Chain A
Amino acid sequence: MKFSLIVYGAPYSTEAAATALHFAGAVIDRGHEIYRLFFISDGVHNANRLAVVPQDEVNLQSQWHELIARHGIDSTVCVSSALRRGVIDQGESERHELGAISLARGSSIAGLGQWVDAALQSDRVVSFG
Chain B
Amino acid sequence: MSVKQTFTFISRSPAYASQRASLCLEAALAAAVFEQEIHYVFMDDGVLQLLTDQNSQAIGQKTLSKLLETLPLYGVENIYVDTQALAKHALDSADLVLDAQPIDDSQLAALIARSDQVLNL
**B67 interface hit (Cβ, 8 Å):** no
Q: Mark A83-122, 1 if CB is under 8 A from B, else 0.
A: 0000000000000000000000000000111011101110
Residues on A with C-beta less than 8 A from B3 are: 120
Residues on B with C-beta less than 8 A from A41 are: 19, 23
| With known contacts A119-B117, A127-B119, A113–B27 Cβ distance under 8 A | no
- Interface residues, chain A, with chain B CB atoms under 8 Å away: 40-41, 80, 111-113, 115-117, 119-121, 125, 127, 129
Residues on B with C-beta less than 8 A from A120 are: 1, 3, 5, 34
**B40 interface hit (Cβ, 8 Å):** no
Q: Is the CB of A125 within 8 A of B33?
A: no
Q: Is the CB of B34 within 8 A of A115?
A: no
**What is the CA–CA distance of A123 and B31 in the complex, to the nearest angstrom?**
17
| With known contacts A111-B30, A127-B119, A117–B23 Cβ distance under 8 A | no
Q: Is the CB of A125 within 8 A of B1?
A: no
In the complex, residue of chain A having the shortest beta-carbon distance to the beta carbon of B5: A120
Main secondary structure on A side of the interface with B: helix
Q: Mark B104-121, 1 if CB is under 8 A from A, else 0.
A: 000000000000110111
In the complex, residue of chain A having the shortest beta-carbon distance to the beta carbon of B26: A112
| With known contacts A41-B19, A125-B117, A127-B119, A116–B26 Cβ distance under 8 A | no
B23 CB to nearest chain A CB (Å): 6
Q: Is the CB of B19 within 8 A of A115?
A: no
In the complex, residue of chain B having the shortest beta-carbon distance to the beta carbon of A42: B19
Q: Is the CB of A112 within 8 A of B27?
A: yes
In the complex, residue of chain A having the shortest beta-carbon distance to the beta carbon of B7: A119
